[in-house]
Structure 1
Amino acid sequence: MTVIVVPAAPPRPGLVLPELAASSPLSEREAADLYAAMLKDTFRAAARSGGDLLVNYRDEESIPDEFADTGDQSAEAEVRALAADALADPDDARFEVQVGSTFSARAGNAVTHLLDEEGVQSVAVAPGTAPLLTRTEIDSAAMKLRRNEVVLGPSERGRVHFAGFTDTIDFEDAYAAPEIETLTNRAVDAGHDVDFLPAATRVETGADLLSQVATLTARATAGRFVPEHTAALVRELGLRAVEGDGGEPELVREETDSS
């Protein structure tokens, strides 16, 4: 059985997806709302798969002062609330605090602990910002992990939206750009076989969001699966991909009934 580790921060404006707010029509608050929606869809996909969901949350002590909690909820409580909203049974998720100063370190610590200390068969890291990661894809990755020590899901600009392991690699700076090359090199250096999943968009910038909105719209039109929380927020915000000047696609906001 695969443990799916989803790193999660509290959805506070400016703390999460700052590059998205700076490069799209979204405000920092709206970018944080989108982050929360994508995270909930990822939680749901992981919980519904044949694996186990582990929410690897960022605690209050690791958050810069300018994003410190000013309300009644701690960082852990905010993340737990997202899981409670996404899952039919909140007990379907296990919660552990992140350990490490970088994404590579946090992912490496989680994977290494689960494989070496808890003896699980396989571990996957899903950043939580690729809402079209489905339970079917997670289960497909689990099958691939029976024959390969590492399975990677590509995303735009050399990133990954999924990384599965049955054995450890050298995780120091393992997510250095381009992530998919770095992770593959580390796996091969460790003598591991590597396989890949179909590509999926990981939303962190305006260009990523443009690609995701166009895909969601097309899938909805065709009557295919769309991630519930993300698709609902995209509709609420009135986001559309249209042909802009020069024939290039661009992301716009249209008036909605709620606006």
Structure 2
Amino acid sequence: MTTVAVLCDPPRDDLVLPELPATSPLTASEATTLYTAMLKDVCAAVEASGGDLLVNYRPEDALPDHESGAADGGNAKEEIKTAIAGALSEPESVRFERQVGQTFSGRAGNTATHLLEREEADSAAIVTPYTPFLSRQQIDTAAMKLRRSPVVLGPAPGGRVYYAGFTSTIDYADSYETPAVETLTDRAIDAGHEVDFLDMNPFLATGSDLVDIVALLRARRTAGRIIPEHTTTAIETVGLSTDGTNLQRSDDR
């Protein structure tokens, strides 16, 4: 069984998807709603898979001061717990752990190392809410690949990764430096590990990413294929469509 850690932040305006309001028609509040929806879809996919879901969150004291809700009595864990509860079949059984580290690479590395070395997990994987098309089948396929290869990566456009699975550790310092798929591969090879890959998957962080996501969601829905339920609802509520280059809201027509 692979322990799949979903590294996430409390869904707050300007903290999550911070580039989206400046690069798309979405407001900061709508970007937060979209992030929450993607978080639900990713957690639901992990829960439905053969993996073990771990929600790995940034606590209040690890958030930038201007983005922390501590002064207003904010509680990162409870906000995330509330956000995903309705998307899971057994929310009470979900495990929550604090992230530790100053950078994403450091936090991901600390989580993977802790799971593999301290908890002696057979395999550990790092994912984020930015990949709403992550599916149960992909998670299970990755678990099978991890039986043969110590490192399995899921590439995303722009040299990013939507999945990083390990049965052995690597040097995680700055391991997600752009292009992350190449950097992580280099670190794995340097450690003497064989690397395998999953199919390419969309990744959502900017307005240009959202163009691709909206087009794919609409196409898959038209074709009657599986779509990420909560992400689709969030996008349809805003009324987004695309001509392949630009995004348009239904209230702009």
Note if 1:250 corresponds to 2:246: yes
| Contact residue 47 and residue 92 of structure 1 kept, 8 A | no
CA distance in 1, matches of 2:118, 2:101: 17
Q: Matched residues in 2 for 1:18 and 1:86: separation?
A: 24
Within 5 Å, which residues of 2 pair with 1:149-164? 149-164=150-165
User: What is aligned with 1:226?
Assistant: 227
Give the TM-score normalised by the residue count of structure 2.
Answer: 0.96
User: Which whole-Å CA distance do the structure 2 matches of 1:73 and 1:63 have between them?
Assistant: 11
Percent identity over the alignment?
52
1:193 aligned residue: 194
Question: SS of the counterpart of 1:18?
Answer: coil
> In 1, are the aligned partners of 2:50 and 2:140 still within 8 Å (CA)?
yes
Report how far residue 191 of structure 1 moved. 0.7
- The equivalent of 2:178 in structure 1 is 177
Q: Which ranges of structure 2 fall in alignment gaps of 5 or more residues?
A: none
Per the alignment, residue 246 of structure 1 pairs with none
Cα distance, 1:71 vs. partner?
A: 4.7
Alignment of 1:52-63 (within 5 A): 52-63=52-63
Deviation at 1:212, TM superposition (A): 0.5
1-side partners of 2:72 and 2:42: how far apart?
26
**CA shift for structure 1 position 22:** 1.1
Deviations 1:80-105 (A, max 9, x none): 11221221111342100000000000
Q: Within 5 Å, which residues of 2 pair with 1:133-152?
A: 133-152=134-153
| Structure 2 residue 108 is the aligned partner of structure 1 residue 119 | no
Deviation, 1:68, is 2.3
Give the Å deviation of 1:62.
1.3
Q: Which residue of 2 aligns with 1:98?
A: 99
Which of 86-95 and 183-192 deviates more? 86-95
Structure 1 segments, 4+ long, off by >3 Å, are 70-73
Note the C-alpha offset of 1:63: 1.6
- Count of matched residue pairs: 251
Equivalent residue, structure 1, for 2:9: 9
1:33: how far off? 0.8
3-state DSSP of counterpart to 1:116: helix
Distance 2:118 2:232 in 1: 38
What is the alpha-carbon distance in structure 2 between the residues aligned to residue 167 and residue 140 of structure 1? Answer: 18
State the SS of the aligned residue for 2:116: helix
Contact kept in structure 1, 2:60 and 2:74, CA below 8 Å: no
Cα distance in 1 for partners of 2:93, 2:151 equals: 25
1:130 aligns with 2:155: no
In 1: Cα distance, 2:208 partner to 2:39 partner: 19
Between the aligned partners of 1:191 and 1:25, the Cα distance in structure 2 is 46
